[in-house]
Amino acid sequence: MAKRIGVLLSGRGSNFEALADSVAAGRIPDAEIAVAVSNREGAPGIDRARARGIETRVIPSKGLQREEHDRLVVATLEERRVDLVCLAGYMRLLSPYFIQKFPQRILNIHPSLLPAFPGLEAQRQALEYGVKFTGCTVHFVDENLDAGPIVAQAVVPVRDGDTPETLAARVLAEEHQLYTEAVRLVLSGKFRIEGRRAIAAEAPRAKAT
């Protein structure tokens, strides 16, 4: 039976589209996107999902307490029997209630090499700090900001003439590939969590020296 993915988005949904493309092409095998959910009316990602024939749901968050809104989203995901939740530009912190409903079943992708530059405007943070390399990180979501166990990372060199926009474009290209790899691993179930790392099951355990 195909694993069912629920995608949460707030904006354009480019990572959602990358996941949808990978599912359609078999790069994420035995999987389907069961529903795309947005907290914002008019999010372009929802229009893109509808154009693909994927079920969508808009649950506006404005005026609602965080858990109050999360309970509505969780109800939708449970109704669609979702196995894995993927955040794709979802601009909300999840409540403890949400996390507890999907333990180790929520992934997020962040445009930096965490733990460096969490939160908003990660590329601007990287440029202001003067780093020579940045990248992106797929991690499990816990109750803290950009802080759950890391599943995968990709490195992107910072060029001397970069702006936040040019750097973001190169990071985004890596995000699309990395998210597919991470989702494929997590849905396979062939991984283990050691401390703050999610490790592929076939990877050898480190030996003390």
Residue with tokens 């990358």: 18
Please confirm, yes or no, whether 139 is among the known catalytic residues: no
Annotated catalytic residue, options 69, 110, 139, 176: 110
Q: Which residue numbers are catalytic? A: 110
